[in-house]
Chains A and B, each alone.
Chain A
Amino acid sequence: MQLTQDEQAMLRGDQGTARREAIAFQIEVGRFFGARRFVPISNAHMMGDIEVMGDAGLARLERMLAEGARCEIGITTNARCIDFAHDRALGQDPAEVAKERRIIECLRGMNVITADTCINYQTLYQPHLGEHLAWGDTGTVIYANSVFGARTNFEGGPSALAAAITGRTPEYGFHLDEHRRGNLVVHLDFDPSDLADWGAIGRLVGEPNQSYYTVPVFSGIRRAPCADELKHLGASLASYGSHAMFHMVGVTPEAASVEMACGGQAPTRTMRITRADLDRLYASYDLRDRRCRLVVFSAPQLSLFELKRISELLDGRTVATGTRLFVTTSNAMRRTADELGYIGRIEAAGGTVLEGVCFYILQNLSPLREREGWDSLLTNSAKLANTITAHRFNTILRPTADCVEAAITGELR
């Protein structure tokens, strides 16, 4: 890689051990992908919680802090694995809870804003067209690339943190025009009507086209989707397909037409999705004994608009005895929704609202599933239905209102 004088100084250690180690790691990643140089970034977003880091990750954070690591650009944290108001009720391990607190201290000590949200793009930072970033999780990345036209790869926790310490990231993947061109045209033959429909589309496109370099181009859009719909589509594409970008003709900024989205080249593949395809997908989930004991609205965290809708669907009703309904959102969204009465309505119905976390990364999730005797998990999030499977849940995707009805009746349909 070509290094500027500043970058060479970092690599020599002139700017301290932490920066030397950060840039050396980035250079190794950059070399793997054949990056020719670094690009300056203006914002980073990182995952960092004890569930995924483990003791080995915490030890490395402690060492970085001791070496004087300090982030030079704005960096926020993704959802974490513990809501400190609910850890006991969820049976989370007190030793791990203490480590989670220590991670937060370490990150703050390095000038990281511990905002704990996976919807930073809706609530904290809206990048502009062409802006270079170092973001993760994947839902934040695909939203940034697709909807804002910003430029970022999937950056894991150590990688996003390194980028914030050096203020740059290697130029490969979605920083480059050549990887941003659409190469799979998807014609939508109907008007999706629920967040789950958009997530289902993400699965139908992503699963059979699994590749970081697949960039779907959606055409045939009859109604411009709102931010939450784009969020669920993107999160699902990133999850099932490992995709980092999509275009939507007439909606996203690099897609005034199919031709523009494909960079003037003929798309190599095309597919069509109909309402019947979605119906078949919904029908394919195994309902087991049809008992609904767990309903989760999460992944990504809910926006204010989603919280409002759930609160309206639950208003004056009660979740069935023996059934749990969970909602996760960001700290800030919870505060606002609380003031507006949405949280009160959800809680009055028997729902539990967790903040700063996402359901599938909760610490101790497999033991929690066993303790509660949970088998099926019902959700309107296609992403959640995919990401939680290592914990051996039987996941079922349904439209939002159907999920609420199942929570009220205790029956899957």
Chain B
Amino acid sequence: MSDVLASFRVQRAAGPLVEGEAVISTEGFSPRYDLDRWTGVISKPGHKLEGVSIRDRILFFPTAKGGIAAGWAFNDLIGKGIAPKAFVFGVTNPVMVQGAIYAGITITEGWDPDPITLIRTGDRVRIDPARGVIELLQRA
């Protein structure tokens, strides 16, 4: 086990324990509006993460946009081998949760404190849904 540099509580969580590289977004997310679902790269012109691949990352988004597409789309990302390891949302919507659970991708909602104050893109983090915590393991 790696040392834990900092930890955060999440309000709700589902899915397996995962470790991976964090990607922090200050803009919300929809797989339909923002993501090229054939390459796994954020493609919406002007999105805060435009050009970033979500594959195997742990994605931090303040909000969910839209959208009914996530219900199937996350399962499709797994099928195509371009899925992220986890979604960490400030506020999400049910379809993101339904879609993540359907696909077996870890998802959390609600955070205290706001992890964006401490976690930066490229940091290594661990999400433990059973304990309801996000842990910072290593700085980028």
Measuring CB to CB, which residues of chain A are less than 8 angstroms from any residue of chain B?
Answer: 25, 28-29, 31-34, 47-48, 52-57, 59-60, 78, 136-138, 153-160, 172-173, 210-213, 238-240, 242, 244, 360, 366, 386-392, 394
Known contacts: A32-B14, A32-B97, A242-B93. The answer to whether A158 contacts B76 by CB under 8 A is no
Q: CB-CB < 8 A to A366: which residues of B? A: 36
Pairwise interchain contact A153-B94, C-beta atoms closer than 8 A = yes
Which residue of chain B lies nearest to A210 when distances are taken between CB atoms in the complex?
B63
A180 to chain B, nearest CB (A): 15
Q: Let me know if B68 is at the binding interface, CB within 8 A.
A: yes
Q: Let me know if B18 is at the binding interface, CB within 8 A.
A: no
A300 to chain B, nearest CB (A): 12
Question: Which 6 A-B pairs give the minimum distances between C-beta atoms?
Answer: A156-B71, A56-B79, A54-B76, A212-B93, A136-B68, A159-B98
Known contacts: A239-B66, A242-B66. The answer to whether A34 contacts B12 by CB under 8 A is yes
Which residue of chain B lies nearest to A212 when distances are taken between CB atoms in the complex?
B93
Pairwise interchain contact B94-A387, C-beta atoms closer than 8 A = no
Chain B 97-126, CB within 8 Å of chain A: the 1/0 string? Answer: 111011000010100000000000000000
* Cα of A242 to Cα of B63 in the assembled complex, Å: 9
* Cα of A106 to Cα of B73 in the assembled complex, Å: 19
Which residue of chain B lies nearest to A137 when distances are taken between CB atoms in the complex?
B68
Q: Let me know if B78 is at the binding interface, CB within 8 A.
A: yes
Pairwise interchain contact B99-A156, C-beta atoms closer than 8 A = yes
Pairwise interchain contact A57-B75, C-beta atoms closer than 8 A = yes
Q: Let me know if B23 is at the binding interface, CB within 8 A.
A: no
A362 to chain B, nearest CB (A): 13
Known contacts: A154-B94, A155-B94. The answer to whether A56 contacts B68 by CB under 8 A is no
Q: Let me know if B17 is at the binding interface, CB within 8 A.
A: no
Pairwise interchain contact A392-B28, C-beta atoms closer than 8 A = no
Pairwise interchain contact A213-B80, C-beta atoms closer than 8 A = no
Most buried by A among B35, B43, B65, B94: B94
Pairwise interchain contact A390-B71, C-beta atoms closer than 8 A = no
* Cα of A213 to Cα of B92 in the assembled complex, Å: 9
Q: CB-CB < 8 A to A154: which residues of B? A: 68, 93-95
* Cα of A138 to Cα of B101 in the assembled complex, Å: 19
Pairwise interchain contact A211-B91, C-beta atoms closer than 8 A = yes
